[in-house]
Structures are given as C-alpha cells and as structure tokens.
Amino acid sequence: MFTRKTKSTIDSLIGMSTSITGDVGFKGGLRIDGAITGNINAEAGQPSVLVISEHAKVVGEVRAAHLIVNGEIVGDVHSSELLELQPKARITGNVFYKALEMHGGALVSGKLSHDQQVETPLLKLAASSEA
C-alpha cells in the first residue's frame, strides 16, 4: 500500500536526560527521548524521519516528512508524508497530514486535516465586458 522511498535511519538522538529550549532543525533522521521547548523543523523538500519516543515531550510546532509519535506534543503537527500515532501518543494542537496511521490509545486534542497536496485548477468566471 505505502512504499517506503527512504531508508529509515536515525542520524541524531536527543537523550532522555536532555532538555532543549530553542528551535531545532535537522535533516535525515532524528529521535527525541528528552524535552524540547521550541519548534522542530526538518529540512524542507528532503526525506526525513522524526521519532518522538514515549518519554519525550515537545512544546512547539513540529514539521517532518515521516513522523512517528509515541510521546507528547503541545503544538501543531505537519507531516508531509506519513504520520504514525502510536498507543501512547498525545497531541494537543492541530494535525496536518498526507497519510495517517493511528493506533488505539493515541489521543489528538485538535483538528485533523488531510493535506491532499493536489493542485486543483483555478476556475475563473468570465468577466462581463462593460465599456
């Protein structure tokens, strides 16, 4: 059904005893076990995997192509490819996704919005020509 185009490798780890205040940018794979207060942004247009473990807490907006959540996010979530919400996932904020996999027990307090990313032609009404 879904083909994995990218190799799911984790390049970086933010450990359980680590807390970061500030925005985090990354490319490739990132696993978070600690706490982050700030936005997390994967490099736009590049394959990325972000894992939020069951021990992690993020307060801020999260953007990644493939996002796997089993921890807590307080903020909006944007996944341009696949969003996996595992049983202990807790999201307080709006969720924007292309494909969603949600396990029993996962909780979203916010709006779920399917991002179709399909360009629809703009229809224009014929203007009446008045002189």
A 10 A CB-CB count for 95 gives: 25
So where are the chain's domains? 10-112
CB-CB contact of 100 with 83 (8 Å): yes
Output the pTM of the full model.
0.81
Q: Nearest 10 degrees: CA dihedral of 75, 87, 117, 11?
A: 80
Tens place of pLDDT per residue across the chain (131 aa): 454 444 568 889 999 999 999 999 999 999 999 999 999 999 988 899 999 999 999 999 999 999 999 999 999 999 999 999 999 999 999 999 999 999 999 999 999 999 765 444 555 566 655 55
